[in-house]
Amino acid sequence: MSVESFWLGDAIKKGTRIACNNAAKKVCLLAEKEAKKNASGRPGPNVQTGRLRASITHLVAEPNENNIIGVIGAGGGLEYAEYVEFGTSRAAAYPFLRPAVDAAMKESESIFAKEIKEVLA
């Protein structure tokens, strides 16, 4: 009788890294969609051109050994994006990014768990 053993650690490590990157993309996309919804009128800023909403985007960097970095933002040259988010001395704030990120982060644990379970299944 012979017994063979296989080391799957490297494959699992690579698969987990890919799963986490996919999950980060899903979380950022969820935040982007929510931010666009938040920037689409009342309650919130009145939409005049749609440029603010169109400028909202996300990016997930390629993962390295220890980190996955996801960024969501708005502006793309629109100076007023931060004024809408944070307000000014003359205008009320209508946060559209921060609530979106908060909502996405509430879902992030389940999104990451689902992606990782698929790798380990």
Half-sphere exposure of 35 (CA within 13 A, CB side): 29
pLDDT at 44: 66
Please give the residue range of the domain that contains residue 76: 28-107
End-to-end CA distance of the chain: 28
Copy the structure tokens of residue 12. 């699992």
Note the pTM of the prediction, 2 decimals: 0.84
The segments of the chain whose pLDDT lies below 70 read 1, 5-6, 42-45
Count of domains observed in the chain:
1
pLDDT at 5: 67
* 32 and 100 Cβ atoms separated by less than 8 Å: yes
Residue 79 lies in a domain: yes
pLDDT at 6: 67
pLDDT at 88: 94
pLDDT at 57: 94
Calculate ∠ Cα 17-108-28, nearest 5°. 80
